[in-house]
Amino acid sequence: MTRHAVPLHALGGPILPRAWFARPTLRVARTLLGKILVHRSSEGVTAGRIVEVEAYRGPDDRAAHTAGGRRTARNEVMWGQAGHLYVYFTYGMHHCCNVVTLGEDYPEAVLLRGLEPIAGLPLMTRRRTHRSRRSTLTDAQLGRGPGNLCRAMGIDRALNGADLTTGRVQLLDAPPVPTRDVRRSARIGVAYAGADAALPWRFFVRDTPAVSGPRRITRPEQTTRTHAR
DNA sequence: GAATAGATTGTCT
DNA sequence: GACAATCTATTCT
């Protein structure tokens, strides 16, 4: 991947409308692969192609922040309208960002875990290098993992609740990733969730270096089972 | 390549 | 007070 500038009009298609987000969470997760995340910040514009996500399915999902119907100040955004950003802080140093799905009072969301940089690579590198004391970061490392993705894109809790259809953080349409290139696995870092830890609700694009964690414990996507529970 | 530990603080019990 | 939807470096094998 090269670091030449990309014209902003070439980043992707139109902004995804609210109805696109107000769909079943596993379907939103699967179809988020390949879409373009853009942040038009005061520091500059950064953008990338989403290559890894995880679905979190609300009260019945013991891995979700809303497990058992928990509703707190932190997860309030998950309970609201689809198409908003849910950003939280974890492990004392990392932010993670999610896309809220479904409708009000259906607290589900999709965690963004991996991003292939498209535009603003120097800015992304600067944001990452600031804390990562690595001297060299490959393009694929910039947005690999939920914490790194947020840092590279300049996303923190100031953007919690931001409207993806009208705000400075946007999701642009782009061609879907072919089914043959989609892989699924259990979600990462949710061992505490008992049986729900094994649910195959992580989706990623195969053979993509910007994907975090295990890329081998995988299986081909089974589209007919997308809604299985 | 796999396993492990340390960093560091908001959130919830 | 315990732990977290993580990341990195280090220390194994």
pLDDT at A83 > cutoff 70: yes
- Nearest C-alpha neighbor of A82 from the set A27, A23, A21: A21
Average pLDDT over residues A12-33: 97
Q: Considering only residues 136-195 of chain A, list those whose CB is below 7 Å from strand B.
A: 157
| Closest nucleotide C1' to the C-alpha of A109 | C5
Could you report the per-residue pLDDT of A161-208, keeping only the tens digit for each? 999 999 999 999 999 999 999 999 999 999 999 999 999 999 999 999
Covered bases, chain C (protein CB within 7 Å)? 3-9
Tokens 């890894």 sit at which residue? A52
* Position A37 pLDDT exceeds 60: yes
- Please determine, for residue A20, whether its predicted confidence score (pLDDT) is greater than 60: yes
Structure confidence at residue A155 (pLDDT): 98
The pLDDT assigned to A220 comes to: 53
Backbone φ/ψ region at A164: left (φ over 0), alpha (ψ -120 to 50), beta: alpha
Assign A223 a pLDDT band (cuts: 50, 70, 90): very low
Q: pTM, whole model, 2 decimals? A: 0.91
Decide: CB of A145 under 7 A of nucleic strand C. yes
The identity of residue A228, as a single letter, is: A
In the 14-73 segment of chain A, residues within 7 Å (Cβ) of strand B are 70, 72-73
Given pLDDT bands bounded at 50, 70 and 90, which one contains residue A227?
A: very low
pLDDT of residue A228: 39
- Provide residues 199-228 of A with CB closer than 7 Å to any strand C atom: 212
Beta-carbon neighbour count of residue A76 at 10 Å?
A: 14
Rounded CA separation A142/A144 (Å): 6
pLDDT at A170: 97
Query: What average pLDDT does this structure show over A44-52?
Result: 98
- Strand B: list positions under 7 Å from protein Cβ: 7-13
CA–C1' A216–B12 (A): 35
